[in-house]
Amino acid sequence: MYNLREGAEQKVVFITGRVHPGETPSSFVCQGIIDFLISQHPIARVLREHLVFKIAPMLNPDGVYLGNYRCSLMGFDLNRHWLDPSPWAHPTLHGVKQLIIRMYNDPSSTSFNRDAVKAGTGRRFLGGLLDHTSYCYTLEVSFYSYIIGGTTAAVPYTEEA
């Protein structure tokens, strides 16, 4: 999926989605990101040449399957268990956390930042785990619409959009 330039240090972009099952738009955003990154668009080609993308599009598949809004099969809000995820009770978080820690300890590291808000969430946990040269962002997606830059009119999501 990506090209590694000979001798270049590769930065890693780690993207996760659907930690809360009811946040359906994140599945569409992750699919859009994947579709773009594997496309032949010139910007996608440049991104693949300079970055490695790791994508876990659904962190709460059992909760999604059950139609839960926020919790996993066992009733956990997974976004509050990053500090000490159990391999048994929170297997997706545990696996992703272990992968991020391994990537962070590898010389071709990843990017997250320290954010003092929301202790226990992925953003805060990863911001505290990693060093000051890393960055961590959360993308929030509306359930209904989006706004095109320079306007204030809401454009409802459609299949075509």
Q: What is the CATH number of the domain that holds 146?
A: 3.40.630.10
Tell me whether residue 56 is in a domain: yes
Q: Return the minimum-mean-pLDDT range out of 26-30, 39-43, 78-82, 124-128.
A: 124-128
What pLDDT, on the 0 to 100 scale, is given for residue 148? 81
Whether residue 4 is contained in a domain is answered as no
Q: Residue 116, exposed/middle/buried by CB under 10 A (0-12, 13-18, 19+)?
A: exposed
- pTM, two decimals, is 0.71
Confidence of residue 103 (pLDDT cuts 50, 70, 90): confident
Task: Check if 6 is active-site.
Answer: no
User: Residue 1 domain-assigned?
Assistant: no
pLDDT of amino acid 146: 80
Kindly name the residue from 6, 140, 159, 160 that is annotated as catalytic.
140
* pLDDT for 127: 65
pLDDT tops 80 at residue 114: no
Q: Is residue 126 part of a domain?
A: yes
Number of domains in the chain: 1
Mean pLDDT of 81-85: 90
Containing 13, the helix (H) or strand (E) segment is strand 11-16
Q: How confident is the model at residue 5 (pLDDT cuts 50, 70, 90)?
A: very low
Residue 91 lies in a domain: yes
First and final CA of the chain: distance in angstroms? 25
CB atoms under 10 Å from CB of 118, counted, come to: 14
pLDDT in tens, 21-60: 998 888 888 899 999 999 999 999 999 999 888 899 999 9
